[in-house]
């Protein structure tokens, strides 16, 4: 999400971000992925009620769970507060962030529906061009031809995919978009490599 926000921050300034995430089971580890697969197999065998529910508090197959990690005293989960804190840490800003993190029955690829309130009025086309200039960003935004980011598109790729970019129908300073990336690559392995390469570059200067 922050990769898509950075160009908007530079172009318009950001006051607030409201985001709902749709996070794959791989975010909870290999055993969580296996639990989804096992529950789907049990469903087709008409034995879903007998399938164990160990990695999630509820059935994950054919379901979505609006809880990732534990709930805190403020009503948000630890995962949601991590998004609040990490967004501001990475962007070096004090932006209002509200997140709802949801576990969905996919294996890989985290998706996010993001609403951004900017400090200036935004134009969807100009914002699209600005986001496209962001590092490791791929724009998939042709709804008329059913082109938009989806988890199946991002698997095994190192880029962040952004689409459904549109201005709010009520507020000219508000933009909506849909963001997808492979959580095992962009959210973990690839990001670790990028950090290591940047560190080496800094050490050699």
Of 101, 104, 114, 133, which is closest to residue 174 (Cα–Cα)? 114
User: Taking the domains of the chain in order of start, what are their residue ranges?
Assistant: 2-24+64-204
Predicted confidence at residue 189, as pLDDT, reads: 47
Distance (Å, rounded) from C-alpha 153 to C-alpha 182?
9
Residue 32's contacts (CB-CB under 8 Å, 6 or more residues apart) are 25, 26, 55, 56, 60
Does 193 have pLDDT greater than 80? no
Mean pLDDT of 166-195: 84
Under the banding of pLDDT at 50, 70 and 90, the label for residue 196 is very low
Which CATH number is 2-24+64-204 given?
3.30.360.10
For residue range 38-63, what is the model confidence (pLDDT) as tens digits? Answer: 999 999 999 999 999 999 999 999 99
Q: Where are the alpha helices (DSSP H) in the chain?
A: 2-12, 30-44, 78-91, 124-132, 151-154, 190-204
Instruction: Please tell me which residue, 178 or 194, carries the higher pLDDT value.
Output: 178
User: 60: which residues sit within 8 A by CB, 6+ positions away?
Assistant: 25, 32, 35, 36, 39, 53, 103, 105
How confident is the model over 83-107, as a mean pLDDT? 97
Per the DSSP assignment, residues forming a β-bridge with 148 are: none
Instruction: Quote the pLDDT of residue 200.
Output: 55
pLDDT digits (tens, 9 = 90+) for 144-153: 999 999 999 9
Rounded distance between C-alpha atoms, residue 171 and residue 174, angstroms: 6
Stretch 81-86: mean pLDDT? 97
Mean pLDDT score of the chain: 93
Query: What is the mean pLDDT of the segment spanning 133-154?
Result: 97
pLDDT at 90: 95
Tokens of 42: 């049990």
Instruction: Say if residues 110 and 161 touch (Cβ distance below 8 Å).
Output: no
């Amino acid at each position: 999400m922050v990769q898509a926000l950075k160009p908007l921050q530079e172009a318009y300034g950001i006051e607030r971000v409201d985001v709902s995430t749709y996070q794959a089971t791989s975010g909870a580890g290999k055993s969580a992925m296996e639990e989804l697969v096992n529950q789907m197999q049990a469903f087709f065998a008409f034995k879903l009620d007998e399938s164990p529910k160990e990695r999630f508090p509820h059935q994950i197959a054919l379901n979505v769970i609006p809880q990732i990690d534990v709930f805190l005293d403020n009503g948000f989960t630890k995962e949601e507060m991590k998004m609040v804190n990490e967004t501001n840490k990475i962007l070096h800003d004090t932006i209002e962030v509200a997140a709802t993190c949801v576990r969905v029955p996919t294996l890989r690829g985290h998706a996010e529906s993001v609403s951004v309130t900017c400090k200036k009025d935004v134009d969807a086309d100009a914002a699209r061009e600005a986001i496209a200039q962001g590092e490791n960003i791929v724009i998939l935004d042709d709804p008329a031809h059913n082109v938009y980011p989806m988890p199946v598109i991002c698997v095994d790729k190192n880029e962040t995919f952004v689409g459904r970019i549109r201005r709010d129908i009520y507020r000219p300073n508000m933009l909506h978009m849909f963001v997808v990336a492979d959580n095992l690559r962009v959210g973990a392995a690839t990001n670790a490599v990028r950090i290591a390469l940047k560190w080496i570059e800094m050490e050699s200067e």
